[in-house]
Amino acid sequence: MEIIVNDNVEEMGRAAARVVARTLNCKPNAVLGLATGSTPLTLYQELVRLHNEEGLDFSQVTTFNLDEYVGLTRKDAQSYHYFMHENLFKHINIATQNIYIPSGTTDNYEAFCKWYEQRIVECGGIDLQILGIGSDGHIAFNEPSSSLGSRTRIKTLARQTIEDNARFFDSAEAVPVYAITMGVGTILEARQIMLLANGRNKAKAVAEAIEGPVTSMITASALQLHSDVLYVIDRESARELKMLDYYEWVQTKMPDAP
Ligand code: GLP
């Protein structure tokens, strides 16, 4: 586990983009797991800049998104399909056939979820999974009490998540109640995981995820079971970490480690 604490979200975006760029430099046909929400926006902006100004190449990259609202079409401005195209895909040279996002409008969710899991495996598994975190500690849409072994499936959103995400919709009533989401078990199979968090409202979730017990009540805490997790967070969301001094000490000492 490694933690990089940043002063602001722009710096967070640059730090996270360096990790993605390093992955693509080592493996140009890497498989990336992508997240939505406001947190990864500065990362996507920086990736677009690196593509435009420094030639970061996505031509062989494959991506799998974590989740999608059930009932929203690709053209719906609130859908994660729309979000990804607007904020990343339309600005980089990724091949359309290499983009996978769960469908919010399939007529057979069970079959779709199985197919999605199978496609991840057929593409060689996820090399780097990017995650945000919900204020209730969820990753993707794995709400508290989700099985830590769960796979891609339909989840009923928690009231807290509906309230949190209402800011993107006209009202809380307009937020879909169901989502299709990768499971915690699916996420844990990624070779490397990078979780991003910023803001005071994430401080409790971040502390519980990193320093609390592993529990299905905070699905991000399952990341403690993974051997290669990087947290790229800001100072506000790091405020409740008991070992913050130690993490910052490690950050300064790590470059000289033998
Ligand atoms: C949604 C998404 C999560 C995301 C979370 C936090 O619930 N399903 O993947 O991490 O929102 O979003 P934000 O970054 O906007 O706080």
- pLDDT tens per residue, range 79-102: 999 999 999 999 999 999 999 999
Hey, which of 101, 155, 164 would you mutate to test ligand 1's pocket, going by the most ligand atoms within 8 Å of its Cβ?
Answer: 164
Tens-digit pLDDT profile for residues 157-209: 999 999 999 999 999 999 999 999 999 999 999 999 999 999 999 999 999 99
Centre of ligand 1 to C-alpha 253, Å, is 32
pTM: predicted TM-score of the whole model, two decimal places: 0.97
The pLDDT value given to residue 169: 94
Domain ranges of the chain: 2-256
Hey, which of 84, 165, 168, 198 would you mutate to test ligand 1's pocket, going by the most ligand atoms within 8 Å of its Cβ?
Answer: 165
Cα 120 to Cα 25, 65, 114, 115, 200, distances in angstroms: 21, 11, 10, 9, 34
Question: To 5 degrees, how large is the angle CA 230–CA 232–CA 233?
Answer: 135
The pLDDT value given to residue 148: 98
pLDDT band at 127 (very low <50, low <70, confident <90, very high): very high
Tokens 């959103």 sit at which residue? 157
The pLDDT value given to residue 192: 98
CATH class of 2-256: alpha beta
How far is the C-alpha of 56 from the C-alpha of 219, rounded, in Å? Answer: 33
Task: Report which protein residue has its CA nearest ligand 1's atom 12.
Answer: 37
**233 alpha-carbon distance from chain centroid:** 13
Q: Is 67 in the pocket of ligand 1 (CB under 6 A)?
A: yes
Report the amino acid identity of residue 74: R
Residue 139: what are its φ and ψ, rounded to 5°? -115, 145
Centre of ligand 1 to C-alpha 137, Å, is 10
